[in-house]
Amino acid sequence: MFVTALEADGFRNLREAKLSPCSEMNVICGENGQGKTNLLEAIYFFTGMKSFRGSGVRDAQLLCFGGDRAALSLCCDDGRRVSCWEGQLVHKDGGVERRVSCNGVDLKKLGAEASPLRCVVFAPSHLSLVKDGPEQRRRFLDQAISQVKGVYADYLSQYQRTLYQRNALLKRTGHVQADLLDVWDLQLAKAGTVLSIFRCDYVRKLSAVARDFYTGISGGREDFTVSYRSTVFHRDMSRETYTDENIGVYYDSLRAARADDVEQGFTSVGVHRDDLECSLDGTPMRLYASQGQQRSAVLALKLSESRLFEQLSGQRPVVLLDDVMSELDVKRQDYVLNSLGGIQVFVTCCDPSSILRLKKGAVYEVSAGCVRALDV
């Protein structure tokens, strides 16, 4: 899948913005606040999902300041056919309505299931994958696996509902009935075991690919590893199959922590407390890695997510890299610009010298919401 054309008018600060990107590397340059990220967000709009800037972004914020309508269009080619999508954001009844059509046919809505476009995004906020707590890394895994294994999202939803019920029971004042906890513990163990199997399998694949990408980014100077830290299963335990034995291990872990859980009022073990550990030369990156190393690690994870999505689904996503070049040395920037063949990439940058290192691709300059193509 790759984008062949994009137009946006009234979307954030974009004004009659048009580009016909190439099928591989596309560099979007310009000073801060000119609309580079808005272009990436306009592409992401057609995935049917909310803004990649965060779940708190409302559709009203996607409209130009003071405007009441935004129009977008995107053409994409999946190797078999070209689809042309049109979208509008219109103020209506105090809110904002999304209107979408494909090849001239109006759609009731554009959800992630209906859209042919898949995007993998790197944004500066994603540095939290390395330097912050485990919640962000669990969310990364959940979103990545759900993209390629739809049933995973169903099991995750089931687990979260059961966890909510168990925690509600633990928060009750007075004596907690053990037989009620037994019921929730068994359901939690069954769903949690399934999620553990999915996660461990994905991380095993992710680790091998991410290691190769990081080797390329760092020029082989650093060894990057990714591993899954379970609060239930030990490293040497087999978690590849859904067995009564594994369910029993999970259930016994919940039982062993029950006294502490009753005292604290929440469930202290399970997949909702697990972590994805990123290490560099055997040392946890969260504690010792530099800003450039952290950025390189997140980039490796995102590129690996893209590669695994293609391998597991047969679809090739579009990669959006927002402000990835800052804090990377020249060699790492060169890798980003010239070594990501076979996928369509959109990368934003402020430093115009980056363009000089681009060997093949397209370059666009954004100024005050207007876009113009530059000669490479």
Domain with residue 264: its CATH number is 1.20.1050.90
> How confident is the model at residue 237, as a pLDDT?
56
Cβ neighbors of 65 (< 8 A, separation 6 or more) are: 13
328 and 193 share a domain? no
Residues 135 and 255 in one domain: yes
Could you tell me if residue 182 is inside a domain?
A: yes
**CA–CA gap between residue 88 and residue 101 (Å, rounded):** 9
The token duo for 140 is: 């990364």
Are 257 and 205 members of one domain?
Answer: yes
Domain that holds residue 98: 2-118+315-374
Kindly state whether residues 45 and 107 are assigned to the same domain.
Answer: yes
What's the rounded Cα separation, in Å, for the pair 93 and 61? 16
Q: What is the CATH number of the domain that holds 327?
A: 3.40.50.300
Name the nearest CA neighbour of 346 among 331, 364, 333: 364
**Looking at residue 173, what is its pLDDT?**
62
Model pLDDT, residue 57? 80
Q: Based on the domain organization, do 132 and 278 belong to the same domain?
A: yes
CB 103 within 8 A of CB 73: no
89 and 158, same structural domain? Answer: no
Report pLDDT for 287: 85
pLDDT of residue 56: 74
pLDDT on residue 120: 94
pTM across the whole model: 0.91
Number of domain units in the chain: 2
Q: Tell me, what's the pLDDT at 327? A: 85
Report the DSSP beta bridge partners of residue 77.
2, 82
Distance, in Å, from the CA atom of 232 to the CA atom of 245, rounded to the nearest integer, reads 13
Q: Is residue 305 included in any domain, yes or no? A: no
Nearest to 301 by CA among 278, 283, 273, 271: 278
Q: Is residue 303 part of a domain?
A: no
In a domain, 159, yes or no: yes
299 assigned to some structural domain: no
Provide the Cα torsion 350, 352, 357, 363; round to 10°.
Answer: 80
Q: Which tokens sit at 198?
A: 């999915």
Same domain, residue pair 136 and 281: yes
Asked if 252 and 331 sit in the same domain, the reply is no
Q: pLDDT per position in the chain (376 positions), as tens?
A: 899 999 999 999 999 999 999 999 999 999 999 999 999 999 998 887 778 887 678 878 888 887 889 999 999 988 788 888 888 889 887 788 888 888 888 877 666 566 778 899 999 889 999 988 999 999 999 999 998 998 999 999 999 999 999 999 998 866 677 888 999 999 999 999 999 999 999 999 999 999 999 999 999 999 999 999 999 998 655 567 788 999 999 999 999 999 999 889 999 999 999 999 999 999 999 888 899 999 999 999 999 999 999 999 888 999 999 999 988 999 999 999 999 988 999 999 988 777 888 999 999 999 999 999 998 7
CB-based contacts of 49, cutoff 8 Å, min separation 6: 112
Q: What is the dihedral of CA 227, 228, 231, 237, to 10 degrees?
A: -90
Residue 297 counted as domain residue: no
Residues 68 and 213 in one domain: no
DSSP state of 176: P
- Has residue 54 been placed in a domain? yes
Spatial contact of 363 and 374, defined as CB atoms under 8 Å apart: yes
